[in-house]
Structure 1
Amino acid sequence: MRTIARSAVESAHRSLDQLGETPLWCDKERVLWWLDIEKPTLHRLDPATGQHDARAFETQFLGSLALAGHDEKLIATDLTLNRLAADGTLDPMLEVDAGLDNRLNDGRVDPSGRFWVGTMDNQLRRPNGKLYRIDADGTAHAMIDDIIVSNGIAFSPDGGTGYFTDTRRHISWRLTIDPDDGAIIGREVFADYSRTGDRPDGATIDAEGCLWQAFFAGSRIVRYAPDGRIDTVVEMPVTNPTCLCFGGPDFRTLYVTTARKFLSDNQLAAEPLAGSLLAVEGIGQGVAEHRFVFS
């Protein structure tokens, strides 16, 4: 197992995100997008020029983000999934979990163009959440229930394997998926941290089909081989790495969002990069994000 020291981690953009999340590299624009969920803001960074733009939203939470066709995006506001047009127009698509004290959280588009997104309990303790599959026609299908905090959604390059995490149950699952219709035909525990209380958070897949996952309150990122073996640990200079993606022209930059949430004043003073977008160069190679396909 290799260990990457925290000295290899750099600041890609200094920020004060309360809950930075969902970094996505757009290979068309060659820019990085990400969210601050709790200070609801959509960020855009062009690493080549350093140009940074931010758009605030009038909502309690931003929860999820995905690329879509025609330079559009999917973006979640509370329990509503919206279509964000290239001109900035925001159009609601659907709402889930109506009446529950939940919000939409982590999501990812699979290789067939379907969007998988989970909901979570705002009090972080009740199993009110679900994992949904959103099809091209905009219909939502509940795939897994009894979830506290949905997270860590990722897919193998062929789309036959999915990964899904409940951060507050401290468990990640490996899903066997029918790529044709998106049905889950198998589910098994991939990594179980229920005894230690570790909190696996956002995840991404690399070009070799290995899973990279951030550990909230764990100051690290790990890379799992498909058989569940950890072969790489990246030590982070912050307590709360939240999610990650590969980007750059050759997908060899690992971008990591971070959070200031739950940190004491002493911790914040000791972690000047908490809430910033971080980057690690040359430790792996990713693949392009899939785009949601509208029917």
Structure 2
Amino acid sequence: MTVAVRQPKVECVVESRDRLGETPLWCDRTNRLWWIDIEQPRLQSYDPATGDHRVTELPGTFAGTQALAKSGDRLLAKDLTLYLWDDATGRGSTLASVEAGLDNRLNDGRVDARGRFWVGTMDNQLHRPNGSLYRIDPDGAVARMAGDVIVANGIAFSPDGRTLYFTDTRRYTSYAYDLDLDDGIVTNRRIFADYTATGDRPDGACVDVDGCLWAAFFAGGRVVRYRPDGAIDRVIPMPVTNPTCLCFGGRDLKTLYVTSAWKFLDAAQLASEPMAGGLFAIEGVGQGIPEHRFG
């Protein structure tokens, strides 16, 4: 049952005009919100205290995802390769390449409680089950954990680290797995949220301190909060058609940041959505948990 609550203010804090904004992360070392534009490949950051917005153009065709690292570097996906990226120099060293010979790219990932990076691949044509879910260990070893994926998305972990959430956006389904933190193996896949009847597209996700999963709905104009049992208890409408991913940030982790995209919008939609592709902030809807760091 959805609880009727007063809707919070949704504010566009950076009009970044991202073609495909994604993977926002709050960094407690820089006190900045970091995110990427996948298809105009660039790494961006925002300081909510000053409003400062910084942009670094990236090489390659796609910047698929990012993660924080214990070393102070950043884990950055470009096409099908993961790099340890130095923000200060704008240079990266290769950590791992996950696939070859497929028309795929890396898309969405998150670090677990033991410092391992979980990341998925997706079909560039958005309909073939070419993708997979991978675990990348701190030494760069790559383990393929699941296949038959069209568009990997929505990777998040429960507060105790023992549940992995994973979405296949073009199968319109989100799943939950049991995760053994000691051996890094996932088992007991079950459906967490099923939108196959409606074709709704769950995209990026994060978890709050109450263990609830938040998901953005691409082409759905909303973000949704699920209780751990999969029941929806909050829906927040967005002023754009394509919210893509979300995270909690700010020094107290009480601001929900949401990235968005103008990709696939026609001329009329673009005219009516001047903030499409922007970064949004929502206050007073919950509190997040700190991101784990790779390594």
Correspondent of 1:265 among 264, 267, 284: 267
Counterpart check, 1:77 vs 2:78: yes
Does structure 2 conserve the Cα–Cα contact (< 8 Å) formed by 1:6 and 1:236? no
Within-5 A mapping of 1:1-295: 1-2=2-3, 8-87=9-88, 88-293=90-295
Give 1:96 shift.
1.5
* More off after superposition, 49-58 vs 236-245: 49-58
SS of equivalent to 1:234: strand
In the alignment, the residues of structure 1 paired with residue 70 and residue 290 of structure 2 have an alpha-carbon distance, to the nearest angstrom, of: 14
In the alignment, the residues of structure 1 paired with residue 3 and residue 18 of structure 2 have an alpha-carbon distance, to the nearest angstrom, of: 30
SS of equivalent to 1:108: strand
Does structure 1 conserve the Cα–Cα contact (< 8 Å) formed by 2:8 and 2:285? no
Structure 1 gap ranges (5+): none
Does structure 1 conserve the Cα–Cα contact (< 8 Å) formed by 2:8 and 2:282? no
Structure 2 gap ranges (5+): none
Give 1:64 shift.
0.6
In the alignment, the residues of structure 1 paired with residue 97 and residue 71 of structure 2 have an alpha-carbon distance, to the nearest angstrom, of: 23
The code of the aligned residue for 2:42 comes to: T
In the alignment, the residues of structure 1 paired with residue 162 and residue 8 of structure 2 have an alpha-carbon distance, to the nearest angstrom, of: 36
Q: Deviations over 1:183-226 (max 9, x none)?
A: 01211011110010000000000001110000000001000000
Does structure 2 conserve the Cα–Cα contact (< 8 Å) formed by 1:3 and 1:233? no
In the alignment, the residues of structure 2 paired with residue 102 and residue 138 of structure 1 have an alpha-carbon distance, to the nearest angstrom, of: 20
In the alignment, the residues of structure 1 paired with residue 149 and residue 50 of structure 2 have an alpha-carbon distance, to the nearest angstrom, of: 41
In the alignment, the residues of structure 2 paired with residue 60 and residue 25 of structure 1 have an alpha-carbon distance, to the nearest angstrom, of: 25
The code of the aligned residue for 1:212 comes to: W
In the alignment, the residues of structure 2 paired with residue 233 and residue 211 of structure 1 have an alpha-carbon distance, to the nearest angstrom, of: 12
The code of the aligned residue for 2:111 comes to: V
SS of equivalent to 1:168: helix
The code of the aligned residue for 1:133 comes to: R
SS of equivalent to 1:208: coil
Does structure 2 conserve the Cα–Cα contact (< 8 Å) formed by 1:152 and 1:202? yes
The code of the aligned residue for 1:278 comes to: F
Identical aligned residues as a percent: 60
Does structure 1 conserve the Cα–Cα contact (< 8 Å) formed by 2:80 and 2:99? yes
Give 1:70 shift.
2.2
In the alignment, the residues of structure 2 paired with residue 25 and residue 142 of structure 1 have an alpha-carbon distance, to the nearest angstrom, of: 28
Q: Deviations over 1:81-111 (max 9, x none)?
A: 1101243321111111201100000000011
In the alignment, the residues of structure 1 paired with residue 204 and residue 14 of structure 2 have an alpha-carbon distance, to the nearest angstrom, of: 19
Give 1:12 shift.
1.4
TM-score, structure 1 length as denominator? 0.97
Give 1:157 shift.
1.3
SS of equivalent to 2:154: strand
Q: Given the superposition, is the C-alpha separation of residues 37 and 262 from structure 1 closer, same or farther in structure 2, using an over 3 Å criterion?
A: same
In the alignment, the residues of structure 1 paired with residue 179 and residue 8 of structure 2 have an alpha-carbon distance, to the nearest angstrom, of: 39
Give 1:14 shift.
1.0
In the alignment, the residues of structure 1 paired with residue 187 and residue 199 of structure 2 have an alpha-carbon distance, to the nearest angstrom, of: 29
Give 1:4 shift.
6.3
In the alignment, the residues of structure 1 paired with residue 210 and residue 22 of structure 2 have an alpha-carbon distance, to the nearest angstrom, of: 24
The code of the aligned residue for 1:271 comes to: E
